Amino acid sequence: QKEVEQNSGPLSVPEGAIASLNCTYSDRGSQSFFWYRQYSGKSPELIMFIYSNGDKEDGRFTAQLNKASQYVSLLIRDSQPSDSATYLCAVTTGVDTGFQKLVFGTGTRLLVSP
C-alpha cells in the first residue's frame, strides 16, 4: 500500500464549479497534511496545510481532514482556468521514530475549462 494515495485524474470541471480533490494516507500517526500545487514544468508550491480534524478555509480553498478515516481533501470554489495544475497531497510520516519526513502522493491533475 502506498503511503499517500491520490486519483491521478484528470479531474475536469467547468469554470465556476467546485473542484474536489481527495487523498488517503496509511500512517495513523501522521500529524501534518499539506496541499501543493504544481504547474506543468514548474516546481511545487504550498497552497494549504492543516493539522486538526475539520475544515480550514483560505480564500477559495478549503482543506478538510478526517484522521479517523485517514482522509484529507481540498475543495476549490469558483474554479478558474488558472487553477488547472497538478495538486499534490503531502503527509508527514515517521512521527513515532522521531525522524519525520514529508511523503507526497503522485498528484491529481485538475483541468478547469472556460
Partner 1 sequence: DAGVIQSPRHEVTEMGQEVTLRCKPISGHDYLFWYRQTMMRGLELLIYFNNNVPIDDSGMPEDRFSAKMPNASFSTLKIQPSEPRDSAVYFCASSLGAGVVTNEKLFFGSGTQLSVL
Task: List contacts with partner 1 (CB under 8 A).
Answer: 31-32, 34, 36, 42-46, 49, 51, 88, 92, 94-95, 99-107
Phi, psi of 105, deg, nearest 5: -80, 175
Determine the Cα–Cα distance for residues 26 and 56; give it in Å rounded to an integer: 22
Instruction: Report the nearest approach of partner 1 to the CB of residue 17 (Å).
Output: 26
34, 28 contact by CB (below 8 A): no
**Residue 79 or residue 85: which is nearer to partner 1 going by CB?**
85
Instruction: Report the nearest approach of partner 1 to the CB of residue 76 (Å).
Output: 20
For residue 46 the three cell numbers come to 504550498
Instruction: Report the nearest approach of partner 1 to the CB of residue 25 (Å).
Output: 14
